[in-house]
Chain A
Amino acid sequence: MKNLRWSRELTLVVLLLCLFGAASILEPKFVTMRAQTLLATHLWELALVAIPMLLIVITAGIDLSVGSIVALSAVSFGLMFERNVPPVVAVGLTVLVGTVLGSLNGWFVTKMKVHPLLVTLATLAAFRGMAEGISTARAISGYPDWLLNALQGPTPIVLFALVATGTHLVMTQTYFGRWVVAIGTEENVSRFSRIPVDRVKQWLYGFSGLVCGIAAVLLVARNNTAKADMATGLELEAITAVVLGGASIHGGKGRVTGLVLGLLLIHETREFVSWHWKQNELSLIVIGSLLILTVLLENIAERRKDRKPKVAITATENP
């Protein structure tokens, strides 16, 4: 950014600084590297899943089924493991399962022309149910230590960094990224511009599934168990992060940088509140309010700005 405008990113940075400021007075131990590294282990599945969610929201779509895709992929991983599929193959197949499920969403959205909210609402129920069905709602545990170790520690961080940086580059440097924004801005104009709208959407829902597959493997490794009720409500957390990060739920607007800051704010708020007050439910209240207030305050600020007389930049045609 050459000229500094007030953006959502700035709002989030200010909020984060306030949080850390308060924390360093109230809970000095919270603001240490050690504590932060310890707390960060909870973050990565959500962080990963939020990235494709951002892209889908930018196209004015939504994917409510991510939590269920993670659960079904995780359970598939567990079952494969139980049946002695080599772990590396199982990881690959799990990611494939996720991708297929996501692509199925994409197929319903693009080929059947069903609203994404409806498609993914239905697959949210269906995939979760399938996870229960194939696992008969058991927890599947007992993974070898070497596998658990390989999938924890720096692995999730590196994966997230790769996906986030890659997505950021695609969104800012390529036509594909511009198409994603263009589709969310006005889909019909995009079709008239010969942008392959359906193919882009199909890709994004598939990408969402793929990332869910990866998140599923990480989640199983972190908990050393696979169960059908894993990642319940993940979709809502991801959407919260996306909207808090500045994306418009009506499409056409959103950045990876904002999302990363939004994720960070949610994460730090949640951890700090439960650290300080030792109550998890309080963090729910704080995060929900944060979501509504951010959008509300920006609306009010915008209305203020509109009330001031604007300088018209309309070029007149008459000489």
Chain B
Amino acid sequence: MATIEIRGLTKRYGGVLALDGVDLDIAAGEVHAICGENGAGKSTLNKILAGMVEPTSGTVKLDGQPVTFGSVTSAEAAGVSMVHQESAVFLSMSAVENHQLMREPTKLGGLLIDRAQMRDRTSSGLLELGESFDPDVPLEDRSLAQRQMVMVARALASDCRLLILDEPTASLSSRETEALFASVRAIRDQGVAVMYVSHRMDEIFALADRVTVLRDGRHVVTKPIAEVSPADLVQAMVGRDVDPPEMRSRELGPVRLRVTNLASPGKFDNISFEVRGGEVVALAGLVGAGRSEVARAIFGIDPLESGAVWVDGDKIALVPEDRQHEGLHLPFSLRDNMAMATAGPGRIPRAHEAESSQGFMQRLAIKAPTDAVPAQSLSGGNQQKVLLGKWLATKPNVLILDEPTRGVDVSAKAQIHELIAEIAASGVAVLVISSELKEVLTLGDRILVMREGKLSGELSRTEATQERILDLALPKETGPEAAPTVSSAKPKLRPEVGVGGLLIATLLLAAGLNPQFLATGNILDMLVKVAPALIVGCAMTLVILAREIDISVGSLMGLCAACLGVACSTDRMGLPVPVGVGICLGVGVLGGLINGLLVTFGRVPSIIVTLGMLTILRGVTERVMGGKWIEKLPDGLRAFGTGNVAGLPYSVLMAIVFALLTWWLAKGTRFGVQVFALGSNPSAAKLRGVPEHRIKLCVFMLTGLAAGIAALFSATQLQVIESGFGSGFELVAIASVIVGGTSIQGGRGTVLGTILGAITLGIVSTVLIFLKLGDSATYWERAIQGGFILVAIIGDQIWRRRATR
């Protein structure tokens, strides 16, 4: 009985058929390999099964029951788990949080997530895979392989019937691959169906029981692994035989690239070699051996730490590995891209540019309607050719190519290989980095091999074989555990330590200048002033953690105060105090709701929404107040601002309550974990089924509520409410969050940091007045506060960069 029965599965994207009537059965207790070229439909099949996209037509049956998955979470609930590629991890979050996101156990009747239990689950899951690292360290401090293992552990942890592994070994060492294979076999033997997507023939033959080949969205063949050979599979994938390109021998010119004793701590060491004109040198090695880093250093993207690089005429070009983030400006036209690296900054010679671009379109056989189409509309192979053209346009003497055929299909690959040979024949010194042994053997006149940051050997074309290269590339098994690519965890200071130190330093300084500053009365006065910033800052922390921003809080506070005053003032409407308070808080929440709706459903960037709201709310406030100050607030209302419980002012009490509330939300609830996930990696969060809209609506509404509360407790301290109330307050709130160590890019930060940040800023602003330095000092108050923020932020950045080194 097949676990999974797929019948006539079809997916159409616009006019393109990504999957065309595929039939496939995967039985319980088998490892079923799926292979095919890029664009064959493998990833579409994965995505449908994992619930990421819905099929256009066709059925999927799981254990005989027809299923349709609306989302990843529902697929997981039905027993289908997928190990996503590396981009789906949350780097700023711990292994525990990555492992348990959306599955957090709770205690105390759901009030708190049970962190101890989460930790236990993660540790035991990792232990099954033979990993025993500290799961509380953020994943950015773990190696690629360890991150991958966390994802595998997560997929295995759910009670799954079908496990989908999509290129799971791309970043693993051979030992880690073996550990992974062992666990995959173990769960297969427990009766789980495993779908294994890979390009690597050796893995398919080592692991799979059956194999299916897809081509152009169609099912080509399914066979037991024993009945096929690697050559059969390649032919089924390509649909025809592929001839290896013929390599003509070339004349070698003078040395054009000379690298001497290049070193960079932690990346590579003692690298020396030469490349001559007309020569193609291949740089082989495993992923993470330091090859790309060497290329970047030679090209000059990374600063040269030690050693020397000499390039003939200084004309060097680098075709990087990642086309999207390093290679091409994808929205730009082909022509603009191919002129991007040429010269500048002056006038663009249009005619020359057009001519040059047309030339490359022909010479490189780039398939595109014209050279005016954006680069993103081309296939991977054609993009790679454009990238080649971009650098050939600079007429380089030395050309470095990093994985020139990654993500390119077989026929384009052959064309690119021929081009590389042609370029070398024209007298250019070529250095090719490739992880594919066949490519290394095809292209290289000479082959250099790197292992763990060092050159481990050199082979001539005649003496090179796959075995000899692998022998030089693989880490020696007798040695200690291979060094992880990312430096392993040195104990990291908590993020609040910086701002905490700052707070103590300012406090000591203030006390040193005038010991009276520490008197209880003064501290309380200071806290009363800080309370609104603290309340709004805490809520703002959640907004910024979710990678949004709200600059309308000051205006919203103004509106809340105006509504409160107009409702309660005996001059105006004279409504009872509780009604006024309700209106004030209600207006705050409503303002937050509008912000949230526009950001989530309207998809307008939050900085634009809240910039617009800042202006609008200011106008509405003036309307509400009718051009007059609000006076004569009833005593019952004034009590909010002036009353106290046992000497503790209400506003300070409220600030403490609100701080505890946000702290609990951020650290103790599923909601909080999801906020962090959204800020840390939005697309991965979506993939995991984090309810983005709901969470963002909540954080904006919470901030609106905070603005209402802050207005209630601070406006009632005043005799009169003016129309400018609250203006500029957004800066104080945001500054508190940032000084408190929360990252403006989301996903990192703490409520505690914000509390300390707000108090520190409060001390700085009150200390000057308190010191009674004379009248002129008061004029410098804002300058000193601003300078302090500047120093705190920049100090924080420098400190952080040191820490990540």
List chain A positions with a Cβ less than 8 A from chain B: 108, 112-115, 117-119, 121-130, 132-133, 135-137, 173-176, 178-179, 182, 185-186, 188-195, 236, 239-240, 243, 249-250, 252, 280-285, 287-289, 291-292, 295-296, 299, 309-319
Contact = CB atoms under 8 A, between A and B. Distances in A.
Most chain-B CB neighbours within 10 Å: which of A133, A136, A176? A133
Most chain-B CB neighbours within 10 Å: which of A113, A315, A319? A315
A133 B781 CA distance: 8
A296 B340 contact: no
A312 B378 CA distance: 10
Given A173-B348, A191-B301, A285 B15 contact: no
B794 A186 contact: no
Contact of B776 (A136, A282, A313): A136
A310 B734 CA distance: 43
Contacts of B377: 313-314
A114 B743 CA distance: 11
A195 B345 CA distance: 9
> Which DSSP category, helix, strand, loop or mixed, fits chain B's interface?
helix
B603 A299 contact: yes
A232 to B, nearest CB: 8
Contacts of A285: 615-616, 619-620, 623
Contacts of B794: 108, 112, 114, 119, 122
A112 to B, nearest CB: 6
Contacts of B194: none
B747 to A, nearest CB: 14
Contact of A295 (B604, B614, B787): B604
A314 B16 contact: yes
A314 B379 contact: yes
B52 interface: no
B608 A236 contact: no
Given A295-B608, A296-B598, A312-B14, A284 B615 contact: yes
Contacts of B784: 129
B244 interface: no
Interface in B282-338: 301, 318, 320, 324-332, 336
Contacts of B411: 317-319
Most chain-A CB neighbours within 10 Å: which of B331, B604, B798? B604
A60 B447 CA distance: 42
A247 to B, nearest CB: 11
B341 A281 contact: no
B348 A174 contact: yes
B786 A129 contact: yes
Contacts of A236: 611, 614-615
A185 B331 contact: yes
Nearest to A240: B611
A192 B797 contact: no
Nearest to A319: B411
Interface stretch (B124-132, B367-375, B433-441, B631-639): B367-375
Contacts of A137: 779
Given A115-B745, A119-B793, A315-B379, 15 more contacts: A121-B731, A121-B734, A126-B787, A175-B345, A175-B347, A176-B345, A178-B344, A192-B318, A240-B612, A284-B615, A299-B604, A311-B15, A315-B368, A315-B369, A315-B382
B340 A182 contact: yes
Contacts of A243: 608, 611
B751 to A, nearest CB: 19
24 contacts: A112-B794, A112-B797, A112-B798, A122-B794, A123-B786, A124-B731, A132-B779, A173-B347, A182-B332, A185-B330, A186-B324, A186-B329, A188-B325, A188-B326, A190-B329, A192-B320, A236-B615, A240-B615, A249-B608, A281-B619, A292-B604, A311-B15, A313-B369, A316-B379
Given A186-B325, A314-B379, A315-B367, A194 B613 contact: no
Contact of B347 (A174, A288, A292): A174
Interface string B346-358: 1110000000000
B296 to A, nearest CB: 9
Contacts of B622: 280-281, 284
Most chain-B CB neighbours within 10 Å: which of A123, A281, A295? A281
B797 A133 contact: no
A192 B780 contact: no
B593 to A, nearest CB: 14
Contacts of A191: 301
A129 B619 contact: no
B602 A296 contact: yes
Interface in B741-763: 744-745
B783 interface: yes
Contacts of B781: 129
Nearest to A115: B744
A283 B623 CA distance: 11
Nearest to B732: A125
